[in-house]
Structure 1
């Protein structure tokens, strides 16, 4: 039997967040339905951020209420792992409380996973979060405590892991430094003066998503970075992550690629060869970093989930994804986007 690879589709959140044309809550819900029907393992549905800063995602709570009203069958009918995971970005304590409010109102775990973010570039992080890397990671504490109390999965994005639009190339050592800071916060009790997070509480699991924000990665640089991330020293840290040693959850690393220069497929192959089994894609190739675009040309976005699944299957791995249904989701996703004039 072929080894399985875990596929997360981020198109409803990362794919749509910078889109200026009006996309209705019902259209977003339909995209999520199509993705669930395709059999992807996880859908990153939205983000609990200020509508002032990201107006496209200002309907996060409404979107989740719409999906919750359809009942558990929406996520259980096609998922190979029992049900499709729903996740959302919640960059601060206020966002985390809004996320938990959705679950409380539904009296069910509608949202299974919370995503936080930092970067391997000080300049990018300052512009994106108005904080240093260390400050942004320190801000995770309240959200992490709430996530542990509720038994949620936690993802931490590390953006600009290969290059930054302001600083240029990012060395692997800088990424390792940031990952160690995150690892210490989620797995080492000495980082919590009053004990590990909240006594008796635990995350369902923790993962770190390595982000190629502007599509600068190559197969060679992917190999170099993940060799460092998976060496004996780092593996010892990762083995302490909640859930990391469960079947199918090792290593607790995700590769999040943008296909700006058409190299993302080669990077997926390189990561697969090193044992990475969790990848992000975006239906229809939606999204991408606005810093990689120009006023007249939209840069290619995230690696299309359709392409990602094709590469994974060609490498001899299984995903449980229905390719035809995934392509239908990609077609629908692209129909939501207004072309650049």
Structure 2
């Protein structure tokens, strides 16, 4: 278990935070948000998703966003890709990391990606091959790692199996996600124990939504397991399509300040982050959230 106090925060606001917004957010504003977040010290930013505009209209400008996004030493820009076609497009625009999206719930997988869990993982094999050929890391998300909006409670063993399969095909990092924000700390603990039985802690990240105001308590559980990589979204953008009006992703500022209070280091300038979060909230202020998401 790592003894270090250094935490990596993966900023997912430009992708996971904005993708459910129906109102038009300009490419310029998305690029500006990325610039502000990078300026605040975020070293890993999920910039966009190379998915079909038919299903996620807000990500239709993925090519322009990735090409125009700020580049600097120490900053890694990633893109979510659903398949080989998306991976090719992302690599062509200079994505520095790819992310793929699986689920621990068969029902969620079918409704969200129109295939079984096993089929979704096999769909990622050519993505991993492309990433390897281009020297890019690949993050594998496991959604519904605690609860599913259709199936309810998800068995920890199911999360461990999906995580193992993603690692098997070459994902360098596995991010287990409390997709609908219902997770209680004791159930997060059970899930993480199952996953850590088959995977080293250095390869694991956690992605918590704050729908039930339990995200920081769940972060504490993960910290106690030695996890040092956490996702968050500027301004808490993202919401939950299954809980209208509920809080969204764990806000980056809340996470950073909580970690500081526990004497963990994250290398983020909180004043500059406040400015970035204010900008993010303004982008979302006059839009409505869509029930479609990846």
TM-score by length of 1: 0.81
1:9–1:43 contact (8 Å) kept in structure 2 = yes
**What is aligned with 1:268?**
219
**How far has the Cα of 1:289 moved from its partner?**
2.8
In 2, are the aligned partners of 1:283 and 1:306 still within 8 Å (CA)?
A: yes
My pick for the range that moved more, 212-221 or 27-36, is 212-221
Q: 1:202 maps to which residue?
A: none
Deviation at 1:2, TM superposition (A): 6.6
1:319 aligns with 2:266: yes
Which has the bigger relative contact order, CA under 8 A and spacing at least 6?
Answer: 2
Q: Which residue of 1 aligns with 2:172?
A: 206
Q: Secondary structure at the match of 1:114?
A: strand
Per the TM alignment, residue 212 of structure 1 is displaced from its structure 2 partner at its CA by: 0.3
Match of residue 152 from structure 2: 168
Please tell me whether residue 86 in structure 1 is matched to residue 77 in structure 2.
Answer: yes
**How far apart, in 2, do the equivalents of 1:64 and 1:271 lie?**
31
Rounded to whole Å, the distance in 2 between the matches of 1:336 and 1:94 is 29
Q: Is the 8 A contact 2:109 2:116 kept in 1?
A: yes
Post-superposition shift, 1:220? 1.4
Q: Distance in 1 between matches of 2:134 and 2:167?
A: 20
Instruction: Check conservation: 1:43, 1:87, Cα contact below 8 A.
Output: yes
How far apart, in 2, do the equivalents of 1:311 and 1:171 lie? 29
Structure number, greater radius of gyration:
1
Q: 1:44 aligns with which of 43, 46, 49?
A: 46
Which residue does the alignment assign to 1:243?
Answer: none
Q: Does the CA-based 8 Å contact 1:269-1:312 persist in structure 2?
A: no
TM-superposed CA distance for 1:53, in Å, is: 1.1
Question: Superposition pairs for residues 35-114 of structure 1, below 5 Å?
Answer: 35-67=37-69, 72=71, 75-76=72-73, 83-103=74-94, 111-114=95-98
Separation (CA, whole Å) in 2 of partners of 1:170 and 1:251:
24
Query: Does the residue aligned with 1:251 lie in a helix, a strand or coil?
Result: helix
Pairwise CA RMSD: 1.6
Give the superposition deviation at 1:85.
1.0
What TM-score do the two structures reach when normalised by structure 2? Answer: 0.93
Give the conservation status (yes or no) of the 8 Å contact 1:207–1:254: yes
The DSSP-based 3-state class of the residue aligned with 1:214 is: coil
Structure 1 residue 340, shift from structure 2 partner: 5.3
1:320 is displaced (CA, Å) by: 0.3
Indicate if the aligned counterparts of 2:128 and 2:169 stay in contact, CA closer than 8 A: no
- The residue correspondences of 1:243-262 to structure 2 (distance < 5 A) are 251-262=202-213
Deviations 1:2-37 (A, max 9, x none): 721001110000000010011000000110011001
Q: Partner of 1:106 in structure 2?
A: none
The C-alpha deviation readout for 1:272-306, integer Å capped at 9, x for no partner, is 1110000000000000331222xxxx221000011
CA distance in 1, matches of 2:121, 2:127: 11
Say how many residue pairs are matched.
Answer: 286
Whether the 8 Å contact between 1:47 and 1:90 is mirrored in structure 2 is: yes
Please list, as runs of the form range in 1=range in 2, the aligned pairs for 1:209-220 lying within 5 A after superposition. Answer: 209-220=175-186
Task: Give the distance between the partners of 2:135 and 2:240, measured in 1 at CA.
Answer: 31
CA contact (8 A) 2:147 2:178 kept: yes
Contact kept, 8 Å, 2:21 with 2:288, in 1: the verdict is: no
2:167 equivalent to 1:183? yes
Is the CA contact 1:163–1:169 (under 8 Å) kept in the aligned structure 2? yes
Question: Which string of whole-angstrom CA distances, capped at 9 and with x for unpartnered residues, describes residues 102-138 of structure 1?
Answer: 13xxxxxxx2110001100000010010000000001
Over 3 Å counting, the alpha-carbon distance change for 1:23 and 1:339 in structure 2 is closer
For structure 2, list consecutive stretches of 5 or more residues without a partner in the other structure.
290-294
